[in-house]
Amino acid sequence: MAKIDRFVDLQFWQKARELENTIYGISTVGSFSKDYALKDQFNRATGSIMDNIAEGFGRGGDKELIHFLIISRSSALEVQSQLYRASDRKHINTTQLREVLERTNQAISIIIRFHQLPERFRKERSPLRIMKNANAERRTPNVKRRTPNEERRTPNEERRTKNEFKDDTASTPHS
């Protein structure tokens, strides 16, 4: 998987941009252009999809990106609701409704597929994780690490063990 350095390279951002351009085109003609409240809310919601993806990417962490993808998905669902309102008000016809709903569903499905990937897969493929791991490996000194099976002792247990060893050697007779 190629490293992504810019949010504009994300497939779900590109789909959101296509959706926003479609919505804008529809909302600027006919009776829709005169329904200012719906048109403005519609355009804000579609812009929000793109903006939240960009903001999540810009935060620099996987958890933040996932959080903002969920918000983007919610905005896309809001757009779908507004599409039905526009259809009910006869601003768009049934064909336009179906086409834009399909575009919205495509954007939503890409967002859902990404944020539902197993966490391990996201971590392995994350450009941020790759850079952090490379930097950590360079800074880590050569320290012997305990394996999970090795017994772990607290400092008090270490002292007790040393004292018991001293007691045992003191009580044995010297020849």
- Report how far residue 147's alpha carbon sits from residue 16's, in angstroms, rounded to the nearest whole number: 47
pLDDT on residue 62: 79
Domain range annotation of the chain: 8-137
pLDDT on residue 127: 47
pLDDT tens per residue across span 41-75: 999 999 999 999 999 989 888 788 888 999 999 99
Q: Which residues, 6 or more positions from 38, have their beta carbon under 8 angstroms from its beta carbon?
A: 32, 82, 85, 86, 89, 91
pLDDT on residue 174: 56
Give me the residues of the chain with pLDDT under 70, please: 1-2, 117-175
Fold (CATH) for 8-137: de novo design (two linked rop proteins) (1.20.1440)
pLDDT on residue 170: 54
